[in-house]
């Protein structure tokens, strides 16, 4: 009975990793739509987000079932509670990918990001997608060191966000208010995806160690 119970616990983390893979795909496709002005790709991201929502519901159902039937304590309780929070953050990351896709769709047949700022936005997208991939690996391996490293590497995203604002506020900006709003929103979406990845990684650290990941990172 206990073996089956722990198999169920492990399966929740397997499901989280699966959702994370879907989010990684969504981020990549949303960026592709954004940089190419491809409405079909944008629509695919938007329509397939329902699969992430359904997967979240399945994880929540499994977690609540374990809470009610097994009455877990200590590490097991920590694992289930963390999983519930993690799946919510993963769903939000999927929603943010949809927001990127909607910006892309809104500007079709034009490309929403002006050519001279595309390198900055593309790098933000690349960093965000890479962080989603790495947090999936953290979930699978419950790797504390990798989780802490992910938090440190979020600094690049913060720097890119500052750079994008500097470009928007520059006297050389000639693309108008509409493009400025688009770029500001896109920067926020990618930054929040990265923030959620760090938060999930921190929850994995807490599940494994029972300690505040910030304190571990400062050691």
The CATH class that applies to domain 2-217 reads mainly alpha
Segment-wise mean pLDDT, segments of 10 residues, the chain, 219 residues:
70 95 98 97 97 96 86 82 95 98 96 95 96 96 92 87 91 92 96 96 92 57
Tokens describing residue 108: 């079709």
> Residue 77: what pLDDT?
87
Q: H or E segment at 79?
A: helix 74-107
> Could you tell me the residue ranges of all domains in the chain?
2-217
Q: What is the pLDDT of residue 216?
A: 47
Is the model's pTM score more than 0.75? yes
**9: part of which helix (H) or strand (E)?**
helix 2-36
Condensed to tens digits (0 to 9), the pLDDT of residues 144-166 reads 999 989 987 788 999 999 999 99
Rg (CA), the chain: 19
CA distance 5 to 72: 10
- Residue 134: the pLDDT is 96
Cα 104 from Cα 137, distance rounded (Å): 29
Q: Rounded distance, CA 98 to CA 104, Å?
A: 10
């Amino acid at each position: 009975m206990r073996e089956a119970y722990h198999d169920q616990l492990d399966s929740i983390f397997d499901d989280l990793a699966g959702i994370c893979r879907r989010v990684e795909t969504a981020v990549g496709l949303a960026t592709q739509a954004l940089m190419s002005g491809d409405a079909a790709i944008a629509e695919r991201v938007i329509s397939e987000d329902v699969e992430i929502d359904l997967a979240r519901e399945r994880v929540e159902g499994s977690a609540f079932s374990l809470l009610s039937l097994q009455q877990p304590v200590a590490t097991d309780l920590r694992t289930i509670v963390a999983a519930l929070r993690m799946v919510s953050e993963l769903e939000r990351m999927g929603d943010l990918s949809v927001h990127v896709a909607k910006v892309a769709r809104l500007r079709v047949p034009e490309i929403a990001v002006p050519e001279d700022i595309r390198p900055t936005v593309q790098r933000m997208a690349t960093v965000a997608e890479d962080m989603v991939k790495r947090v999936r690996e953290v979930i699978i391996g419950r790797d504390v060191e990798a989780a802490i490293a992910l938090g440190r590497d979020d600094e690049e995203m913060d720097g890119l966000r500052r750079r994008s604002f500097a470009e928007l506020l520059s006297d050389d900006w000639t693309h108008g208010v509409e493009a400025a709003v688009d770029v500001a929103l896109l920067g926020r979406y990618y930054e929040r995806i990265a923030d959620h990845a760090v938060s999930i990684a921190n929850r994995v650290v807490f599940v494994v160690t029972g300690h505040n990941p910030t304190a571990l990172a400062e050691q």
